[in-house]
Amino acid sequence: MDITIIGAGNMARGIATRALAGGHAVRLLTPERDEAQGLASELGASTQAGIVGDRLDTDLVVLAITYGAVHGVLDTYGDQLDGKIVVDITNPVDFDTFQPLQLQAGSAAQEIANAAPGARVVKAFNTTFAGTLVEGHVAGRTLDVLIASDDEQAKQAVSKLATDGGMHAVDAGPLGRAHELEAMGYMHMALQETLGTQYGSALTVSA
Ligand SMILES: NC(=O)c1ccc[n+]([C@@H]2O[C@H](COP(=O)([O-])OP(=O)(O)OC[C@H]3O[C@@H](n4cnc5c(N)ncnc54)[C@H](OP(=O)(O)O)[C@@H]3O)[C@@H](O)[C@H]2O)c1
């Protein structure tokens, strides 16, 4: 599968690393080409780079950007997102207070679905930290990727991306569960100070 990742920061690096490990092709898009090109060069030959605004030529697009940047990207792409699998990984947090943002739609993922009604929105990867995605495991344990969507085929595609990259895909239910996933993502961040794990921990579901 070919995937587009918008962003070239920590999570773009982590998700791209796992996607490439799973044999997928990655294209990175950033506002300035240099940023995408820099990460693409580090990640290797099959990684392409471009700028936000370039035509989307893949069925799956990961928004690896801060919550505050999401609506600008949605505005840029408009109806080009129709039919695309759009993966929302955000944890909407007020950076001044480090409190979660209370969103009227219930979640960032639902806001995206409302703003881009033709997109097949999937919430995923927001509960896994970037460095652990680069490593691919924590303390020798497979990473769980919790995935929510109202579109079963889209959920399957993101699940395959996760499992191909050596992770365990966990079906977290419909997109409405993004509210709970974003709360989990926030809680996981908030625990870092208590645990002293420096964003190197993983949330796992044991059975
Ligand atoms: N870091 C984690 O462990 C983690 C875990 C789970 C979820 N998340 C979520 O993942 C998302 C990305 O986090 P991150 O840690 O990767 O952040 P990051 O390292 O700051 O990277 C953000 C990326 O977004 C780009 N960007 C900023 N404004 C943009 C715009 N208007 N249009 C397009 N791209 C833009 C940035 O480019 P510039 O550098 O040029 O601004 C950068 O490449 C956030 O929503 C966060 O809540 C993060």
Question: Tell me: the pLDDT tens digits for 9-26?
Answer: 999 999 999 999 999 999
Whole-number Å distance between alpha carbons of 199 and 2: 29
Q: Is 107 in the pocket of ligand 1 (CB under 6 A)?
A: no
Question: Tell me: the pLDDT tens digits for 102-133?
Answer: 999 999 999 999 999 999 999 999 999 999 99
* pTM of this prediction exceeds 0.75: yes
**pLDDT at residue 207 in the model:** 85
Tell how far CA 114 is from the center of its chain. 18
Q: Is 65 in the pocket of ligand 1 (CB under 6 A)?
A: yes
CATH superfamily ID and name for 2-195: NAD(P)-binding Rossmann-like Domain (3.40.50.720)
- Kindly list the domain boundaries of the chain, sorted by start residue: 2-195
Residue 126: which of 4, 11, 25 has the closest Cα? Answer: 11
Substitution candidate for ligand 1 out of 33, 65, 146 with most atoms within 8 A of CB: 65
Residue 65: which of 47, 90, 48, 43 has the closest Cα? Answer: 90
Q: Is 7 in the pocket of ligand 1 (CB under 6 A)?
A: yes
The two tokens of residue 62 are 């990961």
Question: Tell me: the pLDDT tens digits for 122-174?
Answer: 999 999 999 999 999 999 999 999 999 999 999 999 999 999 999 999 999 99
Q: How much distance in Å is there from the Cα of 10 to the middle of ligand 1?
A: 7
Q: Is 136 in the pocket of ligand 1 (CB under 6 A)?
A: no
